Amino acid sequence: MEWPAEVAPAAPFRTRLVVTWGCGAAGFKPGGSVDQSAVTFAPYFVQEGLICPLAERTLTLDIFGSLDTAAAIGGLQADFSRTYEMRAASSAYAPELGLNADPVPIRTFGDILVRMPPDPGLAGRKNAAGRAYMVQDSLGCLRLQPLGLFVARSAIVIENPSDTTTYFPRFVRGYIYDLAAPLCGETRVFHLVTVN
């Protein structure tokens, strides 16, 4: 998931969602809701059959691919500067333990700051979190790839990789922003904050 780091009160914003594609599913619903403390997405598909629609342009070439889409939120209320949590249904699989007790619990991805006036230093910065894996390109640069997206354009340079040898999926949190000088030929990078 990607979302703005900061928004003005009541200002609409978009959230990028990468969701595992449901086999036999046709219609996608982001299931977005807002309460007094959080924005929560509980996405679901409308199932129409048992055959996976591989001809969909939004699908990757892999049958277990993901839908890369966006959901709109009408705005968040705030009489003073405050944060809302960003939450979504997400796998809690722990690969090193071999556990997957609840495949889609609601978990906190991060925060969004609501204040007026917005901080110009945060313009263009996006918070991001979710299951991803690290890939190494032909130049030896490390990039972060959202789980389920298998196209090169979906990988982003990691500014500060904490581990340069482990590539399997992890739940990561961080932010995307523009560097003054290019890193691995890119100015737009992912700054890693936590890995679970």
Q: Is the pLDDT higher at 9 or at 101?
A: 9
Q: How many helices (H) and strands (E) does the chain have?
A: 0, 15
Q: Which amino acid is present at 92? A: A
Q: Which amino acid is present at 138? A: S
pLDDT tens-place string over residues 85-140:
999 987 655 444 444 444 567 889 999 999 988 888 888 899 999 989 888 888 88
Whole-number average pLDDT of the chain: 82
Question: Does residue 57 register a pLDDT over 50?
Answer: no
Give, rounded to a whole angstrom, the gap between the first and last alpha carbons of the chain.
Answer: 16
